Amino acid sequence: MGYASIVDDIAAAIADPVRRRILELLRERRLPAGRIAEQFEISRPAISRHLRVLRDSGLVRDTVVGRQRRYELDPTRLADLARWLTQFTRTDLWERRFDALETEVFRARRDRRTGDSPSNPQERTA
């Protein structure tokens, strides 16, 4: 499965508000399918289909404990999506701007200490 396909699967899985809410429920602890279904006003079979989509996309994994199927969040796939999204954030641009600002602040402090400033030019002669 290619990287683009992974991102497509994850984006499709989280496009639905019910599935996003399920992910929020699973953020802090594992829950049985029945407990998840109790949080919604839709049928248990519909919740089961949503859980299957999340499981197939790799966002959740399930384990069978006795007669219950328990679901838990698998955040590694969300990290794949986050990595893909970072190409659209301009943090590198801001980092360069902050680096340039830091350089100018350093230069201004140095010039103030040595008396070199544009408003106080000193003649340098040999």
Residue whose structure tokens are 């954030």: 89
CA 55 to chain centre: 19
pLDDT at position 119 is 57
pLDDT at position 45 is 96
CA-nearest of 20, 44, 43 to 33 is: 44
pTM over 0.75: no
CA-nearest of 43, 64, 57 to 13 is: 57
68-91 pLDDT tens trace? 999 999 998 888 888 888 877 766
pLDDT value at 2 more than 70: no
- Tokens in use for 46? 């519909």
Q: Which residues contact 76 (CB under 8 A, 6 or more apart)?
A: 58
